[in-house]
A and B are shown apart, each in its own frame.
Chain A
Amino acid sequence: MTETATVDALLTLDGLRKAYPGVVANDNVSFEIKPGEVHALLGENGAGKSTLVKMIYGLVKPDQGSMVLNGEPFAPANPAAARASGVAMVFQHFSLFDALNVAENISLGMDNPPHPRELAARIREVSQAYGLPLDPDRVVGDLSAGERQRVEIIRCLLQDPKLLIMDEPTSVLTPQEVEILFHTLRKLTAEGTAILYISHKLEEIRALCEHATILRHGQVVDTCDPREESARDLAEMMVGSTLHVPSRETVEPGEVVLVVDKLDLKSATEFGTDLKQVHLEVRAGEVLGIGGVAGNGQDELLGALSGEALAPGAITLKGEDVGHLGPNARRERGLLTAPEERLGHSAAPDMSLTENALLTGAVRENLTQRGFLKWHATEDFARKIIKDFDVRTPGPDNAARSLSGGNLQKFVIGREVLQRPDVLVVNQPTWGVDASAAADIRQALLDLAHHGAALIVISQDLDELMEVADRFTALNEGHLAAPVPTRGLTVEDIGLMMGGMAEDAV
Chain B
Amino acid sequence: MNLDQINPILLIASLMVAATPILLAAIGEAVVEKAGVLNLGVEGMMITGAVVGFAIGVNSGSPVLGFVAAAIAGAALSMLFGFLVLYLLSNQVATGLGLTLFGLGLSSLIGKPYEGMKVPTLAKWDIPLLSDIPVLGPILFNHDPMVYVSLGLVAVVWYVQKSTRAGLILRAVGENHDAAHALGYKVIRVRLMAIAFGGACAGLGGAYVSLVRVPQWVEGMTAGAGWIALAIVVFASWRPWRVLLGAYLFGGITVLQLNLQAAGVAIPVEYLSMSPYIITILVLVVISTRGKHGAPGSLGRIFHASH
Q: Does A95 have its Cβ within 8 Å of any Cβ on chain B?
A: yes
Assuming A108-B169, A108-B172, is B184 touching A95 (CB within 8 A)? no
Taking CB atoms, residues of chain A closer than 8 Å to B172 are 97, 100, 104, 108
Residues in B with CB closer than 8 Å to A83 are 184
**B179, A97: Cβ atoms closer than 8 Å:** yes
Give the number of chain A interface residues (Cβ < 8 Å): 20
Nearest CB in chain B: distance from A170 CB, A: 20
Contacting pair B171 A100 (CB below 8 A)? yes
**Is A100 touching B183 in the complex (CB atoms < 8 A)?**
no
Chain A residues in 8 Å Cβ range of B294: 99
Q: Tell me, rounded to whole Å, the shortest Cβ–Cβ distance linking B174 to chain A.
A: 9
B33 partner residues in chain A, CB cutoff 8 A: none
Q: Would you call B175 an interface residue if the criterion is a C-beta within 8 Å of the partner chain's C-beta atoms?
A: yes
Partner of A95, one of B168, B169, B179, B291: B179
Contact check, B291 vs A270: say whether CB atoms are below 8 A apart.
yes
Cβ of B292 within 8 Å of any chain A Cβ, yes or no, is yes
Q: Determine how close the nearest CB of chain B comes to the CB of A471; give it in whole angstroms.
A: 38
Chain B residues with CB below 8 A from A270, complex form: 291-292
**Is the C-beta of A179 less than 8 angstroms from some C-beta in chain B?**
no
Q: Which of A78, A83, A95, A107 has the most CB of B within 10 A?
A: A95
CB-CB nearest in chain B for A94: B179
Nearest A residue (CB) for B169: A108
Cross-chain contact of A99 among B180, B183, B297 (Cβ < 8 A): B297
Contact (Cβ within 8 A) B168 A107: yes
A113 cross-chain contacts in B, Cβ below 8 A: 165
**Contact assessment for B297 and A108 in the assembled complex, using a CB-CB cutoff below 8 Å:** no
Q: Collect the chain B residues with CB atoms within 8 Å of residue A107's CB.
A: 165, 168
Q: Are A79 and B171 in contact (CB under 8 A)?
A: no
With A and B bound together, what is the CA distance between A99 and B237 in angstroms? 13
Determine whether the beta carbon of B171 is less than 8 Å from that of A91. Answer: no
For the complex formed, measure the closest distance between the CB of B170 and the CB atoms of chain A, giving whole angstroms.
11
Q: How far is the CA of A95 from the CA of B181 in the complex (A)?
A: 9
Query: Is A96 engaged at the interface, CB distance under 8 Å to the other chain?
Result: yes
Residues A100 and B175 in contact in the complex (CB < 8 Å), given A113-B165, A270-B291 = yes
Q: Are A95 and B175 in contact (CB under 8 A)?
A: no
Contact A78 B179 (CB under 8 A): no
A97 to B182, CA, bound (A): 12
B43 at the interface (CB under 8 A from A): no
Q: A79-B183, A79-B184, A108-B183 are in contact. Are A95 and B176 (CB under 8 A)?
A: yes
Nearest-CB residue, chain B, relative to A99 = B175
CB-defined contacts of A104 to chain B, threshold 8 Å: 168, 172
Quick one: which of A59, A78, A97 contacts B176, CB cutoff 8 A? Answer: A97
Residues of B contacting A99 in the complex (Cβ-Cβ under 8 angstroms): 171, 175, 294, 296-297
Q: Chain A contacts of B183 at CB under 8 A? A: 79, 95, 108-109
Is the beta-carbon distance between A91 and B184 smaller than 8 angstroms?
Answer: no
A98 interface contact, C-beta 8 A:
yes
CB of A13 within 8 Å of the partner chain: no
Q: What residues of chain B lie closer than 8 Å to A100, measured between beta carbons?
A: 168, 171-172, 175
Complex interface residues of chain B between 166 and 194 (CB less than 8 A to chain A): 168-169, 171-172, 175-176, 178-180, 182-185
Q: Name the residue of chain A whose CB is nearest to the CB of B306.
A: A20
Residues of A within 8 A of B178 (CB): 95
Which B276-300 residues sit within 8 Å CB-CB of chain A?
A: 291-292, 294, 296-297
Give the nearest-CB partner of A80 in chain B. B184
Please name all residues of chain B whose beta carbon is closer than 8 Å to the beta carbon of A58 when the two chains form the complex: 184
In the complex, chain A residues whose CB is within 8 Å of the CB of B171 = 97, 99-100
Determine the chain B residues whose CB is within 8 A of the CB of A96 once the complex forms. Answer: 176, 179
How many residues on B have C-beta within 8 angstroms of the other chain's C-beta atoms? Answer: 19
B304 → A minimal CB distance (Å): 14
Query: For residue A78, which residues in chain B have a CB less than 8 angstroms away from its CB?
Result: 184
A98 to B172, CA, bound (A): 9
Q: How far is the CB of A106 from chain B (nearest CB, A)?
A: 11
Known interface pairs A97-B172, A108-B168, A108-B172; A91-B182 also in contact (CB < 8 Å): yes
Identify which of B175, B292, B294, B296 gathers the most chain A CB atoms within 10 Å of its CB: B175
CA distance A91 to B182 in the complex (A): 9
In the docked arrangement, what's the CA distance between A499 and B176, Å?
Answer: 30
Closest residue of chain A to B186, judged by CB?
A: A78
Residues of chain A from 31 to 68 with CB closer than 8 A to chain B in the complex: 58-59
Q: Which residues of B contact A95 (CB under 8 A)?
A: 176, 178-179, 182-183
* Distance to closest chain A CB from B300 (angstroms): 16
Contacts of B291 in A (CB 8 A): 270
Of the listed residues B169, B172, B178, B184, the one surrounded by the most CB atoms of chain A closer than 10 A to its CB is: B184
Interface centre among B171, B176, B182, B183 (most CB of A within 10 A): B183
Closest Cβ neighbor of A95 among chain B residues: B179
Query: A26: shortest Cβ distance to chain B, in Å?
Result: 16
Q: Write the nearest CB–CB distance from A285 to chain B, whole angstroms.
A: 42
The reply to whether A98 and B297 contact each other, CB–CB distance below 8 Å, is yes
Chain B nearest CB, measured from A97 CB (Å): 4
How far apart sit A109 and B179, CA to CA, in the bound complex (Å)?
Answer: 10
**Roughly how many angstroms separate A95 CA and B172 CA in the complex, as a whole number?**
11
Interface hits, B88-124 → A, CB 8 Å: none
CA distance A233 to B165 in the complex (A): 50
Q: Which residues of B contact A98 (CB under 8 A)?
A: 175-176, 297
CA distance A104 to B175 in the complex (A): 12
Partner of A79, one of B165, B182, B292, B296: B182
- Among residues of B, the one whose C-beta sits closest to the C-beta of A58 is B184
Tell me the chain A residues, 65-98 only, with Cβ under 8 Å from chain B: 78-80, 83, 91, 94-98
B297 CB contacts on chain A under 8 angstroms: 97-99
Docked complex Cα distance between A301 and B184 (Å):
38
Q: Which residue of B lies closest to A91 (CB)?
A: B182
Selected contact of B175 from candidates A79, A97, A109, CB within 8 Å: A97
Bound: A53/B291 CA distance, A? 40
Cβ–Cβ < 8 Å partners of B165 in chain A: 107, 113
Q: What is the bound-complex CA distance between A107 and B163, given in angstroms? A: 12
Q: Point out which of A80, A108, A109, A113 has the most chain B C-beta atoms below 10 A from its C-beta.
A: A108
Query: Nearest-CB distance from A52 to chain B (Å)?
Result: 15
Which residues between 269 and 321 of chain A lie within 8 Å of chain B, taking CB atoms? Answer: 270
Residues of chain B within 8 A (CB-CB) of A80 are 184
B292 touches A59 (CB 8 A): no
CA gap between A406 and B111 in the complex, in Å? 60
Within 8 A of A (CB), among B250-307: 291-292, 294, 296-297
B234–chain A nearest beta-carbon distance, Å: 16
Find chain A residues with CB under 8 A from B292 CB: 270
Q: How far is the CB of B255 from chain A (nearest CB, A)?
A: 35
Give residues in A with beta carbon < 8 Å to B. Answer: 58-59, 78-80, 83, 91, 94-100, 104, 107-109, 113, 270
Instruction: Report 24 cross-chain contacts, Cβ distance below 8 Å, ordered by A residue.
Output: A59-B182, A78-B184, A79-B182, A79-B184, A94-B179, A95-B176, A95-B182, A95-B183, A97-B172, A97-B175, A97-B176, A97-B297, A98-B297, A99-B294, A99-B297, A100-B168, A100-B171, A100-B172, A100-B175, A107-B165, A108-B169, A108-B172, A108-B180, A113-B165
Q: Give 7 A-B pairs besides A100-B175, A108-B183 with Cβ atoms closer than 8 angstroms.
A: A79-B184, A95-B178, A98-B176, A99-B175, A100-B171, A100-B172, A108-B168
9 closest Cβ pairs, A-B complex: A79-B184, A95-B179, A97-B175, A95-B182, A80-B184, A78-B184, A99-B175, A97-B176, A108-B172
Q: Could you list which residues of chain B lie within 8 angstroms of chain A, going by C-beta atoms? A: 165, 168-169, 171-172, 175-176, 178-180, 182-185, 291-292, 294, 296-297
